[in-house]
Chain A
Amino acid sequence: MIEAILEYAFMRNAVIAAVLASIVTGIIGTIAIEKKLVSMSGGVAHASFGGIGLGYLLGFEPIWGGLFFAIGSSLLISKLSSTKKMKADTITGVLWSFGMALGILFIALAPGYMPDMTSYLFGDILSVSTNALLYMAIFTAVIVLVFTMLYNYFIVYLFDEEYAKARGFKVNLLKWIVYTMIPIGIIVLIKIVGIILTIALMTIPVSIAKIFFKTFGKVVVGSIIISMIFCFIGLTVSYYINIPSGVCIIIISTIVYLLLLLTKSAIQRRIHVKKQHQEDDIYD
């Protein structure tokens, strides 16, 4: 595997892409989980497909169309749900399907044969071009920069928005930043696991990190490391068995997560039983 990384440019690109995607997963995934924006993120990821299709139709880089649609739908969800006339969940559902439908329509209208959209839908870490790597690096850098600049303010906002408002924090500004960072992060992840599997990569490493780490910062760093491990395992399996990388990453991470949950539950049960025995001994 190491020989392949040293020998082939596409493998080196894949490794760098995995690192970038993992950094995004740690930051954006933790924000999305703690602010309960996971299904919104799913909607935004799917809505981006409309922009990708538009790129194919009009002949510009599809990922820019995807980014435009993702940010647009995210801000629209934020705006409409804040007026309380519509529930965020409902708008998310509408944009989720509408984005996918538009994407398919635009691709069908594009001249020539219909292109293979598998890499956008399910991701392909082995086909990350240097050009794609460049935009992934820029987007990741923006996310890291904003996150570290406003770290303590993000914690206040994500943890207790009402308190943040009462103390005079610029909650609306923080909200807009979060609703812009999430779609940017999603566009980075789409290259690795695709539109359909993005939510899984955003949530599973963070959920595993939350089992082991108990502070926000440690959960972010822990999820980055866990995501890297899964991405490298997925990359290796994908390279040797020749199956889509996104699928490998998600299946492996889901199995590990479920096993950890079962183990945690068994340990907790054992501790509970032990405590009960100790209490019984005291009363006897």
Chain B
Amino acid sequence: MSNKNVIIFDDVRYCYGEVCAIQNVSFSIKEKTLTVLIGPNGGGKSTIIKLITGLLKPGKGNIVPEESAAIGYVAQNPWFDVTFPMTVNDMVLTGTLNHKVKLYNKYTQPQKQKALDAIELVGLNGFENREISQLSGGQLKRAVIARALSSNAEIIVLDEPDSSLDAKSTQELYEFLNQLKKDKTIIIASHHIHNLFDIADSVIYINNEAQEYASPIELEEKLKGGMAI
């Protein structure tokens, strides 16, 4: 873990029309840590995730980094159509593509290897040539995570990554993310904070505003006191 802050929110506000999902939000996330965003439904977790990934721009305040190219994103409910003609390998390969346009781009051997490594990391070996339409919900989630991992992104953001995984797969995923934080910064939005207590380095409680906790234990004390998540 280093002391370098890779994400900084400085007095950020975002409103949908007249309803403000978050306001006066300030926090920072350190490099190569695993941070969990928790809070009740409608508290603004997904809004913060979208602000981090650049899908939304703040109405007020500043966010570092301003560009989202270095961030790998695993959405809660991916928007894509699973009938898109694509294999698991094709999908994960797209994660290795750089956002800067290079005409007649072809995937290199290292990119192909990176995709295969990511597929193996999420335990989808043997499924490389399987069409995405033939995957179960959990397998599809893993493929989406593999796509984020195959990128050069230093920061991986996962919005409710356990939403369509069974208990065993969730445990495996979290063990894997715990290993991954040695190399990358991981941010997870989740309701299931108890699964994450052992691996989280810091927790940010979001309920319209943000409250940082240096350790999960500190938050656990608050939860025992009846705070909602």
Report A56 CB to chain B, min CB distance, Å: 40
Report B147 CB to chain A, min CB distance, Å: 8
Residues of A within 8 A of B153 (CB): 167
A150 touches B67 (CB 8 A): no
Report B82 CB to chain A, min CB distance, Å: 10
Q: Is A89 an interface residue (CB 8 A)?
A: no
Cα-based distance from A165 to B131 in the complex (angstroms): 24
Q: Is A162 an interface residue (CB 8 A)?
A: yes
Q: Is B87 an interface residue (CB 8 A)?
A: yes
0/1 interface trace, chain B 50-93, chain A, CB 8 Å (1 if under): 00011100000000000111011101001111011111001100
SS class, residues of chain A in contact with chain B: helix
Closest to A167 in B: B99
Cα-based distance from A36 to B90 in the complex (angstroms): 20
From the candidates B90, B99, B104, B107, name the one contacting A148 in the complex (CB within 8 A): B104
A168 touches B55 (CB 8 A): no
Which has the most chain A C-beta neighbours within 10 Å: B71, B85, B99? Answer: B85
Q: Is A91 an interface residue (CB 8 A)?
A: no
A168 touches B90 (CB 8 A): no
Cα-based distance from A216 to B94 in the complex (angstroms): 13
Cα-based distance from A148 to B103 in the complex (angstroms): 8
Q: Is B101 an interface residue (CB 8 A)?
A: yes
0/1 interface trace, chain A 207-219, chain B, CB 8 Å (1 if under): 0001001111011
Residues of B within 8 A of A170 (CB): 99, 101
* Known contacts A160-B78, A168-B54: A215-B107 contact under CB 8 Å: no
* Known contacts A149-B104, A156-B97, A158-B84: A167-B90 contact under CB 8 Å: no
Residues of A within 8 A of B80 (CB): 159-160, 163
Cα-based distance from A172 to B54 in the complex (angstroms): 14
B94 touches A159 (CB 8 A): yes
B101 touches A34 (CB 8 A): no
Q: Is A232 an interface residue (CB 8 A)?
A: no
* Known contacts A163-B73, A167-B151: A214-B87 contact under CB 8 Å: yes
List which A152-194 residues lie within 8 A (CB) of chain B: 152-153, 155-156, 158-163, 165-170
Report B49 CB to chain A, min CB distance, Å: 9
Cα-based distance from A156 to B79 in the complex (angstroms): 12
B55 touches A167 (CB 8 A): no
Report B48 CB to chain A, min CB distance, Å: 14
Residues of A within 8 A of B68 (CB): 165-168
Report A1 CB to chain B, min CB distance, Å: 34
Q: Is B105 an interface residue (CB 8 A)?
A: yes
B84 touches A163 (CB 8 A): no
Q: Can you show 10 pairs from A to B with CB atoms below 8 A apart?
A: A149-B104, A151-B104, A152-B97, A155-B86, A155-B90, A165-B53, A166-B73, A168-B69, A215-B85, A216-B85
